[in-house]
Amino acid sequence: MKETGMFDTKIAIVLRNNLATWQKLNVTAFLMSGIVGQSPQIIGEAYRDRAGNLFNALSIQPVIVLAADEAAIATIHRRALEREVPASVFIEEMFATGHDVANRAVFAEYAPEDAKVVGIALRTEKKIVDKIMKGATPHP
């Protein structure tokens, strides 16, 4: 991170625009955990309130949350793969599973062209994120 608070990278999460609220929140949390797993250096220092209570450290970098329809999110998925950008991806079928092993098993049943992607998160150079996420709009 530069001293100015500016970042060379960008974190963006795109969610399929027809998800229920609980699904949007669930997918966002899962996708961001993947970004942190890939880039642990984005986690800052722990927070401490005036009373001295200690709280978990958070991301030092802002996160942009976007929305897209099914066709646009499929295009975004394809662009991320074409550019070989590491991504967190959540597919519709993962809502029916109850744990990580089952999530990975159902995920492995699909190829990019038939996956029902409901969310994607990326962290890479700003210009690349903007190109990949083209067509998504700010989440309402």
Residue 1 lies in a domain: no
Residue 130 lies in a domain: yes
Residue 52 lies in a domain: yes
pLDDT tens figures, 58-87:
999 999 999 999 999 999 999 999 999 999
Which whole-number Å values give the CA distances from 89 to 10, 57, 74, 106, 108, in the listed order?
17, 24, 11, 12, 12
2: pLDDT confidence band, cut at 50, 70 and 90? very low
Give the percent of the chain with pLDDT over 90: 93
Q: What CATH number does residue 99 fall under?
A: 3.40.1490.10
* Whole-number Å distance between alpha carbons of 111 and 77: 11
Q: What is the pLDDT of residue 140?
A: 83
Give the percent of the chain with pLDDT over 70: 96
On whether the CB atoms of residues 66 and 12 are closer than 8 A, the answer is yes
Residue 1 predicted with pLDDT over 50? no
* Whole-number Å distance between alpha carbons of 128 and 120: 14
Biggest CA–CA distance in the chain, Å, is 53
Q: Which residue has the higher pLDDT, 6 or 5?
A: 6
